[in-house]
């Protein structure tokens, strides 16, 4: 498959909507040359939020390990050394975070869509996300404060981590006919091999 047809799933979490950042975030993806192929405004149920994070059966363990590492890197003692326990706690907090209000769910398509959007989004913790990224530019939160308050890190946005994750997440949030196949005029420049369609 040519990578110009790579797809990814994005969720603008409730804090994005409340902060008036829908347009700002979408424009960053448009500007990069990606194409929106599906969009909806929903208030997720707890069951949907849980399904979303557990489409990857490894997610709980991976997230637990990542969280424990983050504590140790910052010289802090993790709440437990058991990744499953820590991962489940994160999942529980996320269910509350994602269900507290409307979110915008979107599917995007284009060259390296997964990697490009992850790069624009930035790393998980806003405190350490790079300047210039969505999580680095538009919010501030840290594992330390989130843990102190017993909640998920508020980082505005979800973006699929791999093509496989994207595939599963898109089919979870969208019916087949809600994903639109169409051409964007800008793709003629982005993907044309010879650039021979410009001059008359």
Q: Which stretch binds ligand GDP (CB under 6 A): 43-51, 101-109, 154-162, 181-189?
A: 154-162
Can 2 be counted among the known catalytic residues? no
Q: Is 161 helix (H, G, I), strand (E, B) or coil?
A: coil
Which of 6, 15, 147, 169 touches ligand GDP by CB under 6 A? 147
Contact map string, positions 77 to 116, toward ligand GDP, x by CB under 6 A: -------------x--xx----------------------
CA distances (Å), origin 199, targets 127, 142, 186, 188: 48, 51, 16, 13
Query: Of the candidates 11, 105, 152, 170, which one interacts with ligand GDP according to CB under 6 A?
Result: 152
d(C-alpha 30, C-alpha 179), whole Å: 17
Given 143, 166, 170, 174, the residue binding ligand GDP (CB under 6 A):
143
Closest by CA to 161, choosing from 105, 121, 102, is 121
What CA–CA distance (Å, rounded) separates 107 from 109? 7
Restricted to residues 38-67, the positions that interact with ligand GDP (CB under 6 A) are: 63, 66-67
- For the sheet with 103-109, list strands across it: 35-42, 103-109, 7-12, 157-159
Three-state secondary-structure class, residue 56 = coil
Of residues 130 through 189, those in contact with Mg ion by CB under 5 A are 161
In the complex, the residues that contact ligand GDP under the rule CB under 6 A are 63, 66-67, 70, 90, 93-94, 124, 143, 146-147, 152-153, 155, 158, 161
In the complex, the residues that contact Mg ion under the rule CB under 5 A are 161
Which residues form the catalytic set?
Answer: 158
């Amino acid at each position: 498959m040519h990578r110009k047809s790579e797809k990814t799933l994005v969720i603008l979490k409730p804090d994005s909507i409340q902060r008036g950042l829908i347009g700002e975030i979408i424009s960053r993806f448009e500007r990069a040359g990606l194409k929106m192929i599906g969009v909806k405004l929903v208030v997720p149920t707890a069951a949907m939020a849980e399904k979303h994070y557990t489409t990857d059966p490894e997610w709980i363990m991976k997230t637990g390990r990542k969280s424990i590492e983050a504590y140790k890197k910052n010289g802090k003692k993790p709440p437990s050394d058991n990744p499953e326990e820590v991962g489940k706690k994160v999942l529980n907090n996320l269910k509350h975070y994602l269900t507290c209000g409307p979110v915008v769910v979107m599917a995007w398509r284009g060259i390296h869509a997964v990697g490009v959007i992850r790069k624009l989004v930035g790393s998980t913790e806003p405190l350490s996300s790079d300047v210039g990224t969505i999580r680095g530019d538009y919010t501030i939160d840290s594992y330390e404060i989130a843990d102190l308050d017993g909640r998920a890190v508020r980082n505005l946005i979800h973006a699929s981590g791999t093509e496989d994750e994207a595939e599963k997440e898109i089919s979870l949030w969208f019916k087949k006919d809600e994903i639109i196949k169409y051409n964007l005029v800008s793709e003629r420049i982005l993907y044309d091999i010879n650039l021979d369609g410009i001059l008359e």
